[in-house]
Chains A and B, each alone.
Chain A
């Protein structure tokens, strides 16, 4: 019984993190129909920024989050301007999707290798006084890094909910997503909206990276692993369903925890893959009904 609650607790903490990882990917896909295959690589980049701040200045990773957000946001703006915005001129959405995949696939190579040059291929993680320690709660051990990751995930998800739902900018984003031409007829600068959304999406990836470098570890090519997690979560959440992403992450986390409990740790990712394939076969539109984003 105790093992079971431990597994559940673990699944929830990891699941929230999985949701956090996916938010940036889902935003880009939902708003602009771009598939950013380099998402995992941006996550790793965010992790490196935090790592660097930690080792150089002793800055607590969770406190470094605002800085990481700023840096990654700027990077996101550049990436959009240089590589993604030309895609908007392409005729069909399918074309756009394919080309965005190819381009971001190329970005993986550029970034992976740049990171390898700058930071060497070693595996890095942040080892702070709280690393590896856990809190006892109702008989289960909850790791501090896991709890912090959970908290960050919830805060970010709620923040995103409010930005999209209550702010003028959020309405611009939603309008541009639903009908870009009509949005421009309302006076919305759709390109600038896309630009800022891209910045936000990459910033989200960066935040995820901070969590990962504190809870796990990163190396220049570990991005792919997180990309796959994000893909699975995105599919579980259903297309365009940004607010279902964290719940979907929780589902994946729980399923995975239970699966690993049965099968064993080294095959964790294979468990994810199997879940992925099962979902694809039986419920490709995702587990969550497409919710009308009414904010009442």
Chain B
């Protein structure tokens, strides 16, 4: 579905990604894990068009992404839940959702999609008229995901989902993610700090270190390889085996 070849990205003069090549297959849940500052978010932002890559290219369903502005990339079917949620603080919950469907295709289905999001996250329906800035962390994350879903994406990028959230909320969100992936065949790419969460929900994973991909593979295999986990992530998963 999406292929990146030899992509390098910079923040100003500082190089953040070095010759990244990866693929995301339709219908799967892929995760990017690694330590802080490794470049996971940068990959998301580059795919979404917030960071322009220098060198290499990114192709989504046959169309080159790396030259397109972010809003056009949304039109093609890629939607991102950004790090820190980035809601519109002075707009209501409902308005945030409505704005999520700003592309032509999405706006036609706006009404029915709002109902769909309300089913997935009932709390958002309750808080429809509330201003987004006053929501709790978990509610904000749900709203951010809901807003991204309103764009009718084929590929959903989630950047740092679990940061600062309570386990219950995380659990609920994971359920929703998996349900949406199953029922709507929505491809999901997830950047996660929490390795346990990431590996429990994803089919495949990439480990990123210093802006490079160091490991790639099925999550079951990754989980099983304790040395790998410890070496790259300082994680001891012996107690978390399936």
Judge A-B direct contact (beta carbons within 8 Å): yes
Residues in chain A within 8 A of chain B (CB atoms) = 168, 171-172, 174-175, 178-179, 181-190, 292-296
Are the CB atoms of A185 and B80 closer together than 8 Å?
yes
| Chain B 138-165 per-residue mask, 1 if CB under 8 angstroms from chain A, else 0 | 0000000001101100000000000000
B64 interface contact, C-beta 8 A: no
- Option from B50, B88, B92, B106 in Cβ contact (under 8 Å) with A294: B92
Measured CB to CB, the closest approach of chain B to A244, in angstroms, equals 14
Residue among A175, A178, A182, A187 facing the most chain B CB atoms (10 A cut-off): A187
Q: Which residues of chain A come closer than 8 Å to B107, judged between CB atoms?
A: 168
16 contacts between A and B (CB under 8 A): A175-B88, A178-B89, A178-B91, A179-B88, A181-B86, A184-B69, A185-B50, A185-B71, A185-B79, A185-B80, A186-B101, A186-B102, A186-B151, A187-B71, A187-B151, A188-B71
Nearest residue (CB) in A for B50 is A181
Per-position contact with A for B96-140: 1 when CB-CB < 8 Å, else 0?
A: 001111110011000000000000000000000101000000000
Whether B103 and A187, one on each chain, are in contact in the complex, defined by CB atoms closer than 8 angstroms, is yes
Judge whether B82 and A172 touch: CB under 8 Å: no
CB of B90 closer than 8 Å to a CB of A: yes
Residues of A near B50 (CB, < 8 A) are: 181, 184-185
A-B Cβ contacts below 8 A, count: 83
Q: Which of A171, A181, A183, A187 contacts B98 (CB 8 A)?
A: A171
Q: Which residue of B lies closest to A191 (CB)?
A: B69
Assuming the contacts A171-B95, A182-B87, A185-B74, asked whether A294 and B131 have C-beta atoms less than 8 A apart, the reply is: yes
Q: Establish whether residues A182 and B79, one from each chain, have CB atoms under 8 Å apart when the complex forms.
A: no
Q: What 8 A-B pairs have minimum CB-CB distances, sorted nearest first?
A: A187-B74, A187-B103, A182-B86, A184-B70, A187-B102, A178-B88, A184-B71, A188-B102
Alpha-carbon distance between A159 and B48 when the two chains are bound, in angstroms: 35
User: Which chain A residues lie closer than 8 Å to B80 at the CB level?
Assistant: 185
B28 contacts partner chain A, Cβ-Cβ < 8 Å: no
B68 to chain A, nearest CB (A): 11
How far is A133 from B148 in the complex, measured between Cα atoms in Å? 58
Candidates B87, B106, B129; contact of A187 at CB < 8 Å: B106
Interface residue? B3 (CB, 8 A):
no
**Which residues of the other chain, B, contact A168 by a CB distance below 8 angstroms?**
98, 102, 107
Given contacts A187-B74, A187-B101, 6 further A-B contacts (CB under 8 A): A178-B88, A185-B71, A186-B151, A187-B102, A188-B102, A294-B131
A191 nearest CB across to chain B (Å)? 8
State the CA gap A212–B102 with chains docked (Å).
Answer: 38
Pair B106/A185 contact, Cβ less than 8 Å:
no
Contact A186 B99 (CB under 8 A): yes
